[in-house]
Amino acid sequence: MRQGDKIALISLVAGFTVWSVGFVALYGLQALGCAYGWPTHRAVLILAYGILVAVLAVPAFWPLRSDGEASATLSVAALWANRAALGAGVLVFLPVTFTSTCV
């Protein structure tokens, strides 16, 4: 497999990999903040949300340069998969910034 194809393949799963890691991280931060009563709990969650959206935006707006037919096709698929991951992150993670965290 050529180097460009490998990078394109990684890019294809990059967005949703970050999304799933982010989902688990937010879940963990929410639970830890409640368990230990962090006074800055909400700020931590909003900061994590901002970082995740920023990271997700990189592959969504920064398409790969392709060096062949296979990687060109993959790059287009990767770009749109990563845009879907960004959209999913913005929407699905948003509630951690304003809904009740602990009861």
Partner 1 sequence: MLAGAAVLTALVLALLTMAYLRPHRLAGVTAGQWIVGGGLILPIPILMLLTGTALVLGEQLLPRGEVAYRAEARAEQWAWRFSYPDVPGLPVSETLHIPAGEPVDIAVTSADVIHAFWVPRLGGKIDAIPGHRNVIRLQADEPGIYRGICAEFCGPGHETMQFRVEAHDLETFKSMMAGAAP
C-alpha to C-alpha distance for 75 and 89, rounded to whole angstroms: 21
User: Which one of residues 1, 24, 54, 103 is an interface residue with partner 1 (CB under 8 A)?
Assistant: 103
| Whole-number Cα distances in Å, 44 to 38, 81, 89 | 9, 28, 17
Minimum separation from the CB atom of position 83 to partner 1 (A): 12
Minimum separation from the CB atom of position 81 to partner 1 (A): 14
Give the x-and-dash track for 52-81 against partner 1 (CB under 8 A): ------------------------------
Q: And the tokens for 37?
A: 């009563």
95 touches partner 1 (CB under 8 A)? yes
> For residues 39 and 100, which CB has a smaller minimum distance to partner 1 in the complex?
100
